[in-house]
A and B are shown apart, each in its own frame.
Chain A
Amino acid sequence: MKKIILSMALMLMIGVSSTFANDAEGVNQKVINSFKKEFANAKDVKWESGKEYVKATFSLNGQILFAYYSEGGDMLAMTRNIQASQLPINLLNSVKRDFGSYWISDLFEMATGNETAYFVTLESASEIIVLKSVDSSNWEQFKKEKKQAE
């Protein structure tokens, strides 16, 4: 499961190229059936097809969610962008305490199977750090890179 989380996270962060298709045309029927079963009340569904996954963007209970499916119709992951205040309190306090001088440029929650993970991208003038948490209590460094001088 950890492997799936990491590969999904990488895929989301590097932005694997995909083709937009606002309607379900061209999307595998197995994927559509699986999606409808899982998210019966979803609204405003938009589809994108990548090489290794099909992505649905939709609204559910007033929130924008993203669901990723394999061509076989298995849901690989579900994600949503969140605000810092929506992080579990230990994670929020840790970011504020340890990275007070950084700003948050990306923050999302990812559910794979029955596991929840959080990824936060923090930036300073000189570097970008991505942290992940799989236990809702502690962060671990996922990625760190220096910014290139312009």
Chain B
Amino acid sequence: MKKNFVFAMLFAVAVVGSSYANDPVKVKSIVKESFQKTFTGAEGVTWEVVSSKQIFHASFVYNNESLNAYFDAEGNLLATGRYVKRESLPMLVNRGLTENYGRYNVIETIEFVANSETSYIVKVGNDKVTMYVQAYNDGSSAILKKEKKNNVTKL
């Protein structure tokens, strides 16, 4: 249950319209220390704090890869994420997407690691809907969010 909660919270923060604080970022030292320990040698680090959830979000380059990491206020690493190309998705994930969402366009794909489990958040859509799908290494998937598009026709 806790795992699902953490994921749902991070999904809301990281993928679907996050609400970051506009104030200058004050990152707790315990969070920064945890970050340095986990991602020693990271470059170009920028921090954002999610105003309501006390989640600290670091964007940085590590081993030549652009990454995002999310920490709680105690400095625990909650998740990491990075944008990946569709062709980088595991074959079973790709096959599952084709089977289940083949009629939609794949808009973006994010590799998401939480609790040592790797999954992929895939944004798919057509002219009527946009969906966020969580896809797993075994090819299974679940819809996280579905939004209808407001089609405005100009006269």
Contact = CB atoms under 8 A, between A and B. Distances in A.
Interface in A120-135: 135
A116 B88 contact: no
B75 interface: no
Interface stretch (B29-37, B53-61, B111-119, B126-134): B111-119
B62 A88 contact: no
A93 B80 CA distance: 12
Contacts of A92: 63, 65
A109 interface: yes
B111 A88 contact: yes
A114 B91 contact: no
A15 interface: no
B108 to A, nearest CB: 16
Nearest to A39: B95
A90 interface: yes
A86 interface: yes
A132 B90 CA distance: 15
Q: Give the interface SS of chain B, mostly helix, strand, loop or mixed.
A: mixed
A10 interface: no
B63 A62 contact: no
Nearest to B84: A86
Size bracket, chain A contacts:
20 to 34
Nearest to A135: B116
A24 to B, nearest CB: 22
Nearest to B62: A93
A136 B118 contact: yes
B113 A65 contact: no
Given A62-B87, A114-B92, A89 B137 contact: no
Contact of B113 (A78, A85, A89): A89
A46 interface: no
Interface in B65-97: 65, 67, 80, 82, 84, 87-88, 90-92, 94
Given A88-B118, A111-B90, 20 more contacts: A61-B87, A63-B87, A65-B91, A88-B111, A89-B65, A89-B80, A89-B111, A89-B113, A89-B118, A90-B118, A96-B63, A109-B91, A111-B92, A114-B139, A114-B140, A116-B90, A135-B116, A136-B118, A137-B117, A137-B118
Interface of B: 62-63, 65, 67, 80, 82, 84, 87-88, 90-92, 94, 111, 113, 116-118, 137-140
